[in-house]
Structure formats: structure tokens, C-alpha cells
Amino acid sequence: MLARTRFAVVLRRTGQFQRTASRALSGSPCLYNLPTDKNAQQPTSSEGETPKRKPLSRIAIGGTTNHSQRNSGGSIEFATWKMAALLLTLGGTLYYFFAKEKRRLEIEKEAEANRGYGKPLVGGPFKLVDFNGNEFTEENLKGKFSIIYFGFSHCPDICPDELDKLSVWLDKLKQKGIELQPIFITCDPARDPPHVLKEYLSEFHSDLIGLTGDYNAVKHACKQYRVYFSTPPSLKPGQDYLVDHSIFFYLMDPEGQFIDALGRQYDEKTGVEKIQEHVKAFVPKEQREKRKHKWYSFLFN
């Protein structure tokens, strides 16, 4: 009798456990609570249509959508080419600037070396008269760039060719906003008085200024500019002759100092370029002196 009672109690407890477990599983929201009936009714919207499932997001939980995720590979490649083009343009601009500045410094150093230290190696005091009879000295060279040529009016070919070339330089430089004071100094004062020079130079360029004087004054001016000239000895009155002389254009800065000599190797194009470089690179003496005490003075030595 006692055994039957115990068995009944065990059965009742076992039934209670099964009912409790069944209720717990039926009310749990876990993934294992899947419907077993294939014909079970699906949830519908208010209009009676079955809602579509949303596609799974590729964005990590807690992440945000960025521009690179939205753009295609082609857009990224295009942006890369744009950056490369920008870098090439910037690099080319910097190279051009530094190359141009380097060239300017070279020209400035060249002019400074030609000026010399103390007394200039080329140029100096002189006293002549122009083709209008007015006195002309080294002081008339100050305040503007000047270019000086030594020749004579009876020269058959070289002087006319060089003066034609000078005329082209003057016109082209004017177009660039650069004006020079062109000066012609005769090496043959005996046959080149003022009126002869005026008529001779009028055939080339209206800006040309002719200078002459007595033999000693002309010889002194030629010596100041290191110009070689000579006339044949034992000349008879009225005898025709040629004068041998140096063939250079002497470029002078606005302070009346020599900065460069342009020989026959400069043509109508290269001569303009050379003069233009010197004009743009010119620095007044006062500024040059101040720069010597600056930390970057080594750049100009």
C-alpha cells in the first residue's frame, strides 16, 4: 500500500514538471520557438498584404555610412587622377619659379662681377659733345640704362650692320616696356664732327645720340671703356682710310656703371633677351650694400 502511494506521488510530480516546461517553452521568444504548422497564418499589414523582408545591411552594428562606401571604384580612380594632375601642376609651377629665380641671381652676380670693386674695370669719367653741340659726360648716363657703341661714320660694313641690329633691339625692348639710351661714340673725330654724326645716325634710329670731341678727348673715352682703335700712320690730307676698333655694345646700369659687353655673337633675338635679363635683375647699389650684412648674403657672392 505504501509503495503504491509513493508511485502515485511521483507520477503527479512528473506531470506537473512536463506541464511547467511546456508552458515555459511556449511562451519563450527564443529562436527555437518556431512554428511547426506549415499552414500557420503569416502576419499581414493593415491592407492585407504580406510585408516584404528588408535586405540585410552590410554596415557593421554601430557603424556609419561613409562616402567611400557609396562611391564606386571608378569614382575613386578619378579622384586619384585629379590629385596626380594637381601635384604635377604644382610641381611644374614651383620648378619654373625656382629656375627663373636662379637665372636672375646668376645674371645679377655676373653684373656685379663686371662692375668690379672700387673703380670700375670698364667705364669712367669722360667729357665729349653730342651732335647738337651740348656737353656730354658720364653723369648723363645716370638715371637710365644706356648702351654704348664705338665706331665711325665711314665704316663700310661692320658699323652699319651693328647699328641696324641695335635699332631692332631698341624697338623690341620698347615693346616690352624697356627703354635704353643708345649712344654712338666716334673713333674718328677728324672726319666725324657733330653735324656729320647727326646726319649719319639719322639713317638708323631716332633715339641714337652721337658723341665726338677732339682727338685726346675721344682717345681718353676709348681708354676708359678699354676700347682699342687705331688709324693708319702718315695720312695725307683728304686721304681715305679705315679705323680698326673693338666691336662691342657696352651696357650701363642707371648708376652709370658697366654691367655687360655684348659682342657680335648676339643676334637680334638673343641680344634682346640678354638686355632684358639684366634690366630685370638690376638692384640699386644701396640695396646691394644692405644685403651684404644679411644672413642670406651668401646667395649673392
Provide the annotated binding site for Cu cation.
155, 159, 245
Contact assessment for residue 247 and residue 175, using Cβ atoms and an 8 Å cutoff: no
The three three-digit cell numbers of residue 237, written as one number: 690730307
Residue 214: name the closest of 246, 186, 176 by CA.
Answer: 186
End-to-end CA distance of the chain, in Å?
A: 128
Q: What does the DSSP 8-state code read for residue 227?
A: -
Give the integer Cα–Cα distance in Å for 142 and 222: 19
Q: If DSSP codes are grouped into helix, strand and coil, which group holds residue 169?
A: helix
Q: What b/e string do you get for 209-222 counting C-beta neighbours within 10 Å, with b at 16 or more?
A: bbbbbeeebbebbb
Give the integer Cα–Cα distance in Å for 101 and 281: 10
The three three-digit cell numbers of residue 178, written as one number: 624697356
Contact assessment for residue 145 and residue 254, using Cβ atoms and an 8 Å cutoff: yes
What's the number of CA atoms in the CB half-sphere (13 Å) around residue 213? 19
Give the integer Cα–Cα distance in Å for 233 and 239: 12
Annotated binding site: 155, 159, 245
Q: Dihedral of the CA atoms 115, 120, 123, 127 (nearest 10)? A: 140
Answer positive or negative: Cα dihedral of 156, 162, 164, 170: negative
